């Protein structure tokens, strides 16, 4: 599905100066950077998972040692 835009869409039809276009590009980059940081923060691995995994490994190790000592 595609969206049809009028021929005047964008910078060509707005009659903007080069300084205005440069400002628009800078603002767009800023917004994209902010969105990227928000996504990275949202998709970053949780800190609890590695801690829980390490704790589980320690408990499993202790239980295995106890089982081996009883033999």
Residue 18 belongs to domain spanning: 13-70
In a domain, 2, yes or no: no
For the chain, how many structural domains are there in total?
Answer: 1
Q: For the residues of the chain, what is the DSSP string, one character each? A: ------TT-SHHHHT--HHHHHHHHHHHHHHHHHHHHHHHHHHSPPSHHHHHHHHHHHHHHHHHHHHHHH-
Q: How far apart are CA 8 and CA 5, in angstroms?
A: 8
In a domain, 40, yes or no: yes
In a domain, 4, yes or no: no
Q: How much is the pTM?
A: 0.45
Q: How far apart are CA 28 and CA 11, in angstroms?
A: 13
pLDDT along the chain (71 residues), means of 10: 60 71 88 90 76 90 86 72
In a domain, 1, yes or no: no
| Predicted pLDDT of residue 71 | 72
| Predicted pLDDT of residue 11 | 54
| Predicted pLDDT of residue 33 | 92
């Amino acid at each position: 599905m595609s969206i049809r835009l009028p021929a005047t869409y964008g910078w060509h039809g707005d009659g903007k100066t080069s300084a205005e276009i440069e400002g628009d590009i800078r603002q767009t980059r800023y917004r994209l950077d902010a969105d990227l940081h928000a996504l990275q923060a949202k998709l970053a691995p949780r800190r609890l998972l590695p801690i829980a995994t390490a704790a589980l490994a320690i408990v499993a190790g202790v239980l295995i040692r106890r089982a081996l000592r009883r033999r």
